[in-house]
Chain A
Amino acid sequence: MSAPTQAPPQAAAATEPGRVAAVWAFLVRTVRSPVPRRLLAVPVVAFVVMLLVFIVAHLLPGDPVTQMTATNSQITPEQVAQLRRELGLSAPLPVQFGDYLKGIFTGNMGTSLYSGRSVTSLLGAALPVTVELALAAWLIATLVGVVTGMIAAHYKDTWVDGLLRTSATVGFSLPWFVVALLGAIVFGVELNWLPILGRMPNSLNYQPTTGFVLIDAVVQNRYELIWPWFQHLVLPATTLAATTAGYLTRVTRSAFLDARTQPFVRTARMKGLTERAIAVKHVLRNSAVPILTMSGLQLGSLLGGAVITESVFSYPGVGSLLVQAAERRDYFLLQGTALTIGLLFTAVNAAVDLAVLAVDPRLRRD
């Protein structure tokens, strides 16, 4: 919208009006075509996310200063007023919003009222943990969901299909924290195969460089970190994946069955292709688009599920921080964690949309 107004002045100065119209038309066409339009939407949505989180934080009952000074009975009203000024809470709302935006871009999002540490450093430590967990769960869910969905489609209307569909529905209905708990009881307590608390034993004295253990193990040349990290990751990741896997089984099954009835499959069969070639080259490729879209969109919902799974396993990610912050009304921390999850969600969804556009040329045509 604002992009076209920037370009024309030079063009108009140098040439006749026809050229201006052409440039304008080109810009409009570019903005309207799918890929740039999706890219341009990202900053807009990100801004809206920032604005909403700011509004929510200001709607929270009780302001941070009241909470900070609640335990201190000797504080004078002047000190309270000064504290409020220092935190920038006495300024008018638009000024506060400006400060908040500046803070986001300079990495200064205030201090956690409870732990006294800066929100940025807490988030910096927690973000890689959540990303690892969500990605691991997403890989498991996609793999399991697509494979079982293909099997169910192949054995359509037999007992195999019925069994897989029912278990998919059950898996899809399982609330995140209940699966997590069942996993913890069965594999952590009864069988005692896997650890159920935290991300890494303290005895290993892990000092994050990037926060991603696989990368850190290479960078720090400490390969002994990987196995305990993996053991701690297995339960949270698989229990988080269960719901999504059930959902993707259903999506894959119907996408496969749908693609199998398309005219191009009949054409391929008439051309004399083998059933295997039809399945791989035509059915799989054409059903990939809905599967990819749905599985990608689930990556976003896994970020939400991670909030709950992390709390069950005391996994030190952004979700644990968010829940703590909401429980304790930790103003700046809640603002920071909500913002992080919201922006991550926005970025993931945009990336998925672009990936889908890259895979399916039909969607790129306007």
Chain B
Amino acid sequence: MSSPLSGTASPVGGPASASPVWSGARSRWRRRTVLRRPQAWFAWGALALFVLVLAVGPLIVTTDPLAQDFAPLLPFGSPGHLLGTDDLGRDELARILAGGRPLLIVSVASALSAGLVGSGLGMVAGYCGGALGAAVMWTMDVLLAFPIVLVAILMVAVLGGGSGNAIVAIAVSQVPYFARLAKNLTVAERDRDYVRSARALGYRGTAIGLREILPNLSGQLMVQATSTLAVTAGLSSALSYLGLGQDAATPDWGYMVKAGQQFIFSYPWLCLLPGLLITLFAVACNLLGDDLRDAVSRTPGGGR
């Protein structure tokens, strides 16, 4: 998905070459891409590292993250426990490696499902309009009448804890944003010539939506999904921090922050390390979103 987007960042697609009359535009364009590069590299690199370490890490460090060693609160670099142990004598390195998986899975799955459901609803509302469209958008407005944190907390309270329910709860809180974006974009495309001609050729509504309109929205929707990833990461870790996400036995960064917080005066790294990792993940997602937004807005017609 990302390769066509970053491909358009090449000089050919830039507005600079499209209007050579605009003096200085080329150097401005170059300066902007050079400025953006380190951030984009950082974002891609950090995310790739996260996925790699969280996927492979627990296979290499085979210490059981739940095994208690009767040596609580060991410092960094202790023999056998590279990152020390927590208050129950469990290996911190193994817990860090295992505890990132729920965050990664929940945030990606909820951003993806919110994107699919929200874009679908928004496209239907935008393409069909009328009473159906009004009903869909009105439901979305109702969801937006609550702060997203409240929506997520209430959903978890109703559904109960666990990864699956956290995904549903967080996705529901993000659906309205996708629906609004997709609806506005679809309304703008609905009466363009290519859609009219597809209609004149007798294509069904679903075919027009999926094969004609969707490819024109995908760039903007991808940008939204990437930025949403930072939000869902924050929300999922916040839910487990509040004790509403995972059950207490599963290692999870958000909950590790919570558990480590009681030792904030004596062993601050117990909550600091998972907290910093959550932050790093969210920052990388946002920088990636910024980079994609730049790339999409440089695409001819993409920044409409």
Contact = CB atoms under 8 A, between A and B. Distances in A.
A346 B150 CA distance: 13
A127 to B, nearest CB: 15
A166 interface: yes
A303 B151 CA distance: 13
Interface residues of A, number: 49
Given A162-B35, A181-B272, A307 B153 contact: yes
A56 B158 contact: yes
A300 interface: yes
Contacts, number: 132
A341 B145 contact: no
Contacts of B272: 181-182, 185
A152 to B, nearest CB: 13
Given A48-B145, A327-B244, A177 B31 contact: no
B278 A173 contact: no
Given A307-B149, A323-B242, A176 B234 contact: yes
Interface in B248-268: 254, 257, 261, 264-265, 268
Interface string B113-151: 000000000000000000000000000001001111110
Contact of B278 (A175, A308, A346): A175
A305 interface: yes
Given A59-B158, A184-B264, A175 B150 contact: no
A166 B278 CA distance: 18
A1 to B, nearest CB: 14
A35 interface: no
A212 to B, nearest CB: 22
Contact of A327 (B39, B146, B243, B279): B243
Contacts of B28: 157
Contacts of B148: 301, 304
B290 interface: yes
Query: Which of A56, A181, A196, A334 has the most CB atoms of chain B within a 10 A radius of its CB?
Result: A181
Contact of B279 (A49, A178, A300, A323): A178
B156 A308 contact: no
Contacts of A301: 147-148
B258 to A, nearest CB: 9
A83 interface: no
Contacts of B290: 169
3 smallest CB-CB distances across A and B, nearest first, come from: A304-B147, A304-B149, A175-B234
Interface of B: 28, 31-32, 35, 39, 142, 145-150, 153-154, 156-158, 160, 230, 233-234, 237-238, 241-244, 254, 257, 261, 264-265, 268, 271-272, 275-276, 278-279, 282-283, 285-287, 290
Given A190-B268, A326-B242, 6 more contacts: A45-B145, A175-B278, A175-B279, A307-B149, A326-B153, A326-B154
27 contacts: A49-B146, A52-B146, A56-B158, A61-B160, A169-B283, A169-B290, A170-B283, A173-B285, A173-B287, A175-B238, A177-B254, A178-B276, A181-B264, A181-B271, A185-B268, A189-B264, A189-B265, A190-B268, A304-B148, A304-B149, A305-B149, A323-B242, A326-B153, A326-B154, A334-B154, A338-B154, A345-B146
